[in-house]
Amino acid sequence: MKKAIAMSLLMLSVVMSVHAKTNNADVKKEEKRAQPIAGFRLFDLSTKVPQLIEGNQFSRAIPHQLCIFVENVEVKEQNLLAEYFVAPAPMRMQAENAETRTTEDGTGNLIIFKLPKADIAGGTITQCWQFSKNHPVGTYQLELQFNDIVFKGLAFQILK
C-alpha cells in the first residue's frame, strides 16, 4: 500500500513538473511578443540615394518623404489603415486607392486604405507621403489606426 501511495505521489509530482514547465514556456512566449508600434521616418530626396533624417522636422524647400510605419500587429486577410492628419492650416490630401475625407475647416484629413495581406511585406505596414511648397508650414498632428489598434500622439513639423 505504501508503494502504491509513493508511486501515486511520484507520478503526480512528474505531471505537476511538466505542467509548470509548459506554463513557463507560455509565459516566455508572451514576453517575447513585441508591443504594436507606429511611427514615421523622414527621408531627404535631394540626393541620388535617399538619406534618413533624424528628428521630426523638415524643410519644404528640399524634397522630402515622410514614411509612416506600423509594426508588431496582427495582419489579417483584409486590413484597414486609417491616417488622420491635422494640419496647421487648410489643405487637401490625396491618395491613390484610398478614401479621403476633409473636415469642414480644411485642416483635418482622413485617409482610409484597405490593404490585403498580400500587399503587406514582412508584416510591416508602410505608407509614404511627399510634401511640397503648397503644404502649410507648421506642426502636423497624426493619428493612425490599423484594424482595431489606434496610435495617437505622433507629430511632425514642416519648416520653410
For the chain, the distance separating the N- and C-terminal CA atoms, rounded to the nearest angstrom, is 90
14 domain-assigned? no
145 domain-assigned? yes
9 domain-assigned? no
Q: What are phi and psi of 24, to 5 degrees?
A: -65, -40
Q: Residue 62 belongs to what domain range?
A: 37-159
21 pLDDT higher than 60: no
Cα 53 to the center of its chain, rounded Å = 19
118 domain-assigned? yes
Per residue in 93-108, pLDDT (tens digit) is 999 999 999 999 999 9
For residue 63, the SS3 value is: coil
2 pLDDT higher than 90: no
95 domain-assigned? yes
- Give the pLDDT band (50/70/90) at residue 121: confident
Per residue in 38-93, pLDDT (tens digit) is 999 999 999 999 999 999 999 999 999 999 999 999 999 999 999 999 999 999 99
12 pLDDT higher than 50: no
What is the count of structural domains for the chain? Answer: 1
What is the C-alpha to C-alpha distance for residues 138 and 64, in angstroms, rounded to an integer?
15
In this prediction, residues 10-22 reach a mean pLDDT of 45
69 domain-assigned? yes
* CATH number of the CATH domain containing 144: 2.60.40.1930
5 or 93, which is more confident: 93
pTM recorded for the entire structure: 0.77
For residue 46, the SS3 value is: coil
